[in-house]
Amino acid sequence: MATLSFSLPFASELNGALRRVPVWSVYLAGVLPLAWILWLLAEGGLGIDPVKEIEQRLGKIGLQLIVAGLAVTPLRRFAGLNLLRFRRAIGVLAFCYVVLHLAAWVVLDMALLWSQALGDIVKRPYLTLGMAAFALLVPLAATSNNWALRRLGGMRWRVLHRLVYPAAVLGGVHYLWLVKAWPPEPFVYLGAILALLALRLGR
Ligand code: HEM
């Protein structure tokens, strides 16, 4: 089957420059938003409800990184931009932010009241969806290392890592479900996720 592919005008120069970017610099850049949140917290710059603000910011960054990870393959296919080297770092960072988002909710919001937290997860659909998304990301994070890749073999590893597709959709719906008054932002995220997944269907 013929595949549709394009290249950005300076894709090969850009790819050459990207090859010189060490992967650790992506991890370093990924820590900056967290450092920014902590700085704002120390400065009292998180508004009247810092707990909600921390929770929301961490969730938003987690979702943005999930979208960024989903964009890697289409960017290579349709723009000739090769970011594959950075995909694992993007995925690991996404998981870390989702864990921090969940931790902020359990520790700061629910004050470690586990039975109440579990009750809320069951009762509130947006939390059920968020938890389902998180649960799907756990095996991906656990196998995001060379040892797991060797143990599973490339084919099974790739199939397992397709769990990121439903996880992304659930994360997007979780966001859409919790907002009131239909602001455009969650629609943009969910639309981007669905569009990025649709781009894979043509393969
Ligand atoms: C892949 C997993 C997840 C993603 C991508 C995600 C993403 C998000 C996003 C984007 C927001 C909205 C931020 C904003 O309003 O600016 C949010 C809010 C929230 N999420 Fe998550 N989330 C995930 C999992 C979870 C889990 C597991 C829980 C807890 C069980 C959770 C609890 C919350 C809460 C309490 C809020 C704030 C609701 C409010 O504003 O009142 N999320 N999440």
CA distances from 110 to 52, 55, 57, 99, 164 (A): 11, 12, 17, 15, 27
* pLDDT at residue number 10: 86
pLDDT digits (tens, 9 = 90+) for 141-152: 999 999 999 999
pLDDT digits (tens, 9 = 90+) for 118-129: 999 999 999 999
* Ligand 1 centre distance from Cα of residue 44 (Å): 22
Neighbouring residues of 1: CB distance < 8 A, sequence distance ≥ 6: none
Among the atoms of ligand 1, which is closest to the Cα of residue 60? 10
Does residue 1 surpass a pLDDT of 80?
Answer: no
Q: Is the minimum distance from the CB of 101 to ligand 1 under 6 angstroms?
A: yes
pLDDT, averaged across the chain: 95
Best CA proximity match to 104, nearest among 42, 190, 38, 170:
38
Does residue 177 surpass a pLDDT of 70?
Answer: yes
* pLDDT at residue number 2: 46
User: What does the alpha-carbon distance between residue 203 and residue 198 come to, in Å, rounded to a whole number?
Assistant: 10
